[in-house]
């Protein structure tokens, strides 16, 4: 015995429960049952279906599976931008596509970095606006979903908005990114640090 | 010096302390993808377990849960903060799992070998009791017996007895009255008990075996 409740009369308790109203002590009895080895056989003799309560103790999902779930859901969301939602999304295929998408993301980030540094280094007038850079990245990451640069994404309207949302939303990798800016009103340089990229 | 304008890791750290309801509100009001990631981290395990108990196949369960999160994202603007987050998500998962179950016809094929194996094990070790079965054996027996239940009975039994939801929560998930939940639960227990005694008499308590004999007589 390891709980404060004393071992209940299981046949009587089960009979009361099956009679219609769940006795107020039932929930407490279930907690007791989980902790009291002495009660296990008596409870199962009164109601063998109580054995199925053990299903709740099945092993949790490993962390790696949670990560692959995240990638699979992200892949489904990307796929839904191309295919109409409800027109038959195939979950298994979405999960398989997740790996390929990471490669496209890496390629997009390289392209973006090269474009940003190129513009800055050559000093060709106004540097590319982050919104335009984002659209380039989005087109590279999702060529099937490329949109005209002017409408692919909106430009941050204020410093607050910039701080609250990832600039490179089209890149679809905000989960690990840190975004730095140099300058205040006229944004000159934006640097993205993304721990998921292996360059 | 460059100024930090946005840090995903700091944002993510804040989200780990948010409640489930706050995460859903962040999804709804801010299209916050990190909130979805956090939600996936919290709910994948319980939802896969639930879907696995319904479907009896872990891979299919994961597919169902994957689509569940996708639906959560797609319907994020419909979330009402008065609703219980768990109830809302469970309802989506439950409906998807039921749809999946209806479209599948392989249940008997997958269960029968397991049953034969369990019978052989039981025959060789007649002194084993129900309480001494391994979790995997309990799961296999449940999958077999649950095939006799209606979809509603199976869902009510799982949500109430295994997941530990209250009758009111189950009624919200399934969209029916509490009295209906109680009826389904009563019938599910009765059916499971009868089938357990009938198919696995070696594990059934003496009292239950007598009860079945009287019932059949």
Domain boundary among B62, B85, B104: B104
Q: Is B174 inside any structural domain?
A: yes
Chain A contact probe: residue of B4, B8, B170 with most A CBs at under 10 A: B8
More confident of the two residues A44 and B105 = A44
Domain locations along chain A: 10-57, 63-194
Q: Is A84 helix (H, G, I), strand (E, B) or coil?
A: coil
Q: Are B95 and B117 in the same domain? A: no
Q: Are B40 and B134 in the same domain? A: no
Q: Is B74 inside any structural domain?
A: yes
Q: Are B67 and B149 in the same domain? A: no
Give the tokens for residue B199. Answer: 């198919």
Q: Is B48 inside any structural domain?
A: yes
pLDDT category of residue B104 using cuts at 50, 70 and 90: confident
Q: Is B67 inside any structural domain?
A: yes
Q: How many CB atoms lie within 10 A of CB B199?
A: 17
Q: Which residue of A has its CA nearest to B42?
A: A66
Q: Is B4 inside any structural domain?
A: no
Domain boundary among B70, B87, B104: B104
Look-up of token digits 């398989």: A96
- Residue contact B74–A58, C-beta within 8 A: no
Among candidate residues A49, A51, A46, the one with its CA nearest the CA of residue A7: A46
Q: Are B72 and B149 in the same domain? A: no
- Residue contact A44–B129, C-beta within 8 A: yes
Contact present, B66 and A76 (Cβ < 8 Å): yes
Q: In CATH, what number is assigned to the domain containing residue B173?
A: 1.10.10.10
Q: Which residue of B has its CA nearest to A18?
A: B186
Q: Average pLDDT, stretch A96-123?
A: 55
Cα-based distances in Å from A91 to A72, B42, B64: 8, 20, 8
- Residue contact B33–A175, C-beta within 8 A: yes
Model pLDDT, residue B32: 86
Q: Is B6 inside any structural domain?
A: no
Q: Are B139 and B69 in the same domain? A: no
Determine if the pTM surpasses 0.95.
Answer: no
Q: What is the ipTM of this complex?
A: 0.71
Tell me the per-residue pLDDT of B164-180, one tens digit each, with 9 for 90 and over.
888 889 999 999 999 99
Mean pLDDT, rounded, of chain A = 64
Q: Are B125 and B50 in the same domain? A: no
Contact present, B85 and B24 (Cβ < 8 Å): yes
* Cβ-based contacts of A15 with chain B (< 8 Å): none
The answer, for B203 touching chain A at a CB cutoff of 8 Å, is: yes
| Closest Cβ opposite residue A91 in set B67, B130, B182 | B67
Q: Which residue of A has its CA nearest to B206?
A: A45
Q: Average pLDDT, stretch B77-98?
A: 90
| Closest Cβ opposite residue B189 in set A44, A49, A70 | A49
| Closest Cβ opposite residue A66 in set B40, B138, B207 | B40
Q: Is B52 inside any structural domain?
A: yes
Phi then psi for A79, rounded to 5 degrees?
Answer: -60, -35
Q: In CATH, what number is assigned to the domain containing residue B73?
A: 1.10.1740.10
Q: Are B214 and B118 in the same domain? A: yes
Contact present, A105 and A81 (Cβ < 8 Å): no
Q: Is B9 inside any structural domain?
A: no
- Residue contact A66–B45, C-beta within 8 A: yes
Tell me the per-residue pLDDT of B137-193, one tens digit each, with 9 for 90 and over.
888 888 889 888 998 999 999 998 888 888 889 999 999 999 999 999 999 999 999
Please tell me the total count of domains within chain B.
2
Q: Are B211 and B117 in the same domain? A: yes
pLDDT category of residue A148 using cuts at 50, 70 and 90: very low
DSSP β-bridge partners for residue A177: A194
Q: Are B94 and B165 in the same domain? A: no
* Cβ-based contacts of B36 with chain A (< 8 Å): 73
Q: Are B149 and B64 in the same domain? A: no
* Cβ-based contacts of A54 with chain B (< 8 Å): 135, 138
| Closest Cβ opposite residue B49 in set A44, A49, A58 | A58
Q: Could you list the residue range(s) of the whole structural domain that residue B64 is in?
A: 15-104
């Amino acid at each position: 015995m390891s709980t404060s409740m004393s071992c209940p009369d299981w046949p009587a308790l089960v009979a009361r429960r099956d009679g219609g109203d769940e006795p107020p002590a039932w929930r407490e009895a279930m907690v007791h049952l989980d902790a009291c080895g002495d009660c296990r056989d008596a409870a199962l003799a009164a109601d063998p279906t109580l054995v199925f309560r053990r299903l709740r103790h099945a092993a949790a999902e490993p962390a790696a599976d949670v990560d692959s779930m995240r990638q699979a859901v992200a892949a489904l969301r990307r796929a839904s931008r191309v295919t109409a939602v409800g027109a038959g999304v195939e979950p298994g295929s979405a999960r398989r596509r997740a790996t390929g998408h990471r490669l496209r993301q890496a390629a997009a980030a390289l392209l973006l970095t090269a474009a940003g540094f190129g513009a800055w280094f050559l000093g060709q007038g106004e540097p590319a606006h982050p919104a335009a850079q984002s659209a380039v990245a989005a087109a590279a990451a999702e060529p099937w979903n490329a949109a005209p640069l002017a409408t692919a994404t909106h430009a941050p309207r204020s410093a607050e908005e910039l701080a609250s949302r990832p600039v490179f939303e089209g890149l679809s990798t905000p989960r690990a990114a840190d975004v730095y800016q140099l300058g205040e009103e006229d944004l000159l340089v934006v640097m993205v640090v993304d721990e998921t990229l292996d360059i | 010096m460059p100024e930090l304008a946005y840090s995903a890791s700091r944002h993510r750290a804040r989200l780990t302390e948010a409640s489930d309801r706050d995460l859903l509100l962040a999804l709804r009001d801010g299209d916050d993808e990190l909130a979805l990631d956090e939600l996936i981290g919290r709910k994948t395990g319980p939802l896969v377990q639930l879907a696995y108990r319904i479907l009896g196949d872990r891979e299919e369960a994961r597919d169902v849960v994957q689509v569940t999160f996708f639906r959560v994202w797609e319907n994020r603007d419909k979330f009402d903060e008065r609703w219980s987050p768990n109830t809302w998500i469970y309802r989506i998962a439950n409906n998807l799992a039921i749809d999946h179950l209806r479209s599948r016809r392989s249940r008997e094929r997958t269960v029968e070998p397991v049953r034969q194996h369990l019978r052989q094990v039981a025959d060789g070790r007649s002194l084993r009791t129900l309480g001494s079965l391994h979790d995997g054996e309990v799961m296999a027996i449940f999958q077999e017996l649950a095939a006799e239940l209606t979809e509603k009975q199976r869902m009510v039994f799982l949500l109430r007895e295994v997941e530990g939801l209250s009758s009111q929560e189950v009624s919200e998930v399934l969209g029916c009255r509490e009295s209906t939940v109680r009826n389904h639960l009563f019938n599910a227990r009765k059916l499971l008990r009868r089938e357990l005694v009938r198919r696995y008499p070696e594990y059934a308590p003496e009292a239950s075996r007598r009860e079945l004999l009287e019932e059949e007589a």
